[in-house]
Each structure stands twice: as structure tokens, then as C-alpha cells.
Amino acid sequence: MKAVTALREEVESWRAFQRRMQDAAELARLSDESLRADLEMEVAAIEAELEKRSFAAMLRGPYDADDALLAIHAGAGGTDSQDWAAMLERMYLRWAESRGYETEILDVTEGEEAGIKSVTIAVNGRYAYGYLRSEKGVHRLVRLSPFDAAHRRHTSFALVEILPQIAMDDPEVGIDPNDLRVDVFRSSGAGGQNVHKNATAIRLTHIPTGIVVTCQNERSQLQNRENALRVLRARLFELKKAEKDAEIAVLKGEYTKAEWGSQIRSYVLHPYQMVKDHRTEYETGNTQAVLDGDLDAFMEAYLRKS
């Protein structure tokens, strides 16, 4: 029923867009010079909508229309990398807001001095996973460090993970309760009066794979458990998908081990301003706009190339 509802909404959306174009064409045939300005505005709006729909048409993967889980992990670079992870969190939250997506922070671990060590965010909205999958990988920042007394240039790294949110009843991923070890502990960091008094945080360990998921952002232990299960299902799905992809690559003779280290995108703030994607070669000098969430051009370049 969920699939039927989504398809029905998609078809009705295209029919409404078709009616809008027909109305504009009819107005163009009947209107005089006094309506020219209004007609030009409508044509520009239709062109922008068509470009947006053309972009969405590239999202043809089986999970592209789904919600997404976005995880950011600080890498090499100490306090600078933790601050960089927080900058990336802000960037993606602003991008999601610009698209009208709902976001929910499921788990966050604060840095010792500044920034964050890691954060997991649920991004809910149609095609959230399809757009965000282009962001998976290592992101590199080059800047003058605000945490260095000598104000020297530093390079920081952060890893971005993008996972599809798998529905709880999806047959692709099954979790045997006997395979789970559940630990309950007190939340850490900011979060209100309950945080340090009550044991509401949840740590799930999937024994067969060794995957560990923690959630501590909610005051309810039950809610944290449900969120942890959402993340665990997504990670198990990604693990199965990676295994299948590796098997296919071996059969084709194209297998290469995926390792931490090679960044997909560089954000340079000093000695010059540039953001460059190393997979597509797309780049821009407007670094502030990118850090404020203007990512569509990078995503489109990735989708066109893939």
C-alpha cells in the first residue's frame, strides 16, 4: 500500500504539472501585452520545476525514493576534525531544510574541546537517500586552524555514511533477538535534567557481525531502543549490499578493497577558496554557499556521471 500510494502521488504530481503547462500555453495564445510580465514569470517557474524534475528522474535506484540515515564521524585531525564534523552536520541540516525534509538527531557524541566526534541523523523525505548517497565517503577540509595558537594551516578529515532507512517489516533484513546484546546506560552530554539521572541510553551489539549501535538522544529508553534498531537494520542492510557488490566485482575481475583515506571531496578555505569533488571534477569557488547547504550541483554532477 505504501508503494501504491507513492506511485499514485507521483502520477498525480506529473498530471498537475502537465495541466500547468497547458494552462500557460493557453494563456500565451490568448493574452495581450499587459499580461506579458506575468506570463514570463510563469514560464520561468515552469522551467525551474522542469529542471528539478529532470534532476529527480536520475534517481532510479531501488532505494532512492526512501528516507536516509546520515552518519558523520570525525577522523584524523584532533579537535579540528571534530569541529569539521560539526560543520558538516550543519551543512547537511541546512541542505535538508532547504528541500523541506524533516531531520531527527538520533545520537551524538560531543568532542572534548569543540565540535562532535560522531552524529547520526534521520533524514525523512521523498528521494532523501537518492540525493544523499552521492555524499558517502571521506571529506577533507584545509584551513587556518582556529584551535592552533600559531594559526597554522591544518588538514582535517571526516567520514560521511549514507544508509537507506529500511522499514521494520522489510524482509531483506531480519534480526534475531537472540543475536542482540542490549546494554542500558546513562546518557552523556547536554540534554536536560534527566540525562545523568536515568539510564535511558541504549547500546545494541549485533553478535554475529560485531556491529554496535548507540542511541541516547531521547529521554525514553523505549524510543532510544527503537531508533537504535532503525540504525542497526540500515547497517546490516548496507553490509549485505556491500558483500553482494564485492561478489559481483570479483566475478567481473574489478574488485578493489574499499579503505579509509581517499577523500571524495576537498573543501579548501586557505590559501584560496574552493570546493572540489574528486570523482566528478566539479568545483566551485563559493565555499560559504556550499557550507550553508548548497549541494545540489555536486549531487547532480555525481548522478549524471554514475
What's the pLDDT score for residue 254?
55
The pTM of this model reads 0.81
What's residue 167's pLDDT? 66
More confident residue, 192 or 305: 305
- Is the CATH number of domain 68-169+265-305 3.40.640.10? no
- Cβ pair 261, 159 in contact under 8 A: no
Strands (E), 149-304: 153-164, 180-185, 201-206, 211-215, 263-268, 274-277, 283-284
> What average pLDDT does the structure give for the chain?
87
pLDDT above 90 covers a percentage of the chain that reads 51
User: Range with the lowest mean pLDDT among 114-123, 184-193, 257-266?
Assistant: 184-193
CATH code given to domain 177-252: 3.30.160.20
Strand partners, 201: 185
- Asked if residue 92 lies in contact with residue 84, where contact means CB atoms within 8 angstroms, the answer is no
- Confidence class for position 246, pLDDT limits 50, 70, 90: confident
Q: Could you tell me whether strands 137-144 and 263-268 are parallel, antiparallel, or unpaired per DSSP bridges?
A: parallel
* Interval 222-234: pLDDT, tens: 889 989 998 999 9
Question: How much is the pLDDT for 69?
Answer: 95
**Amino acid sitting at position 237:** F
| Tens-place pLDDT, residues 11-30 | 999 999 999 999 999 888 87
Q: Per-residue pLDDT tens for 169-210?
A: 666 778 888 999 999 888 765 544 444 457 788 999 999 999
116 pLDDT tier (thresholds 50, 70, 90): very high
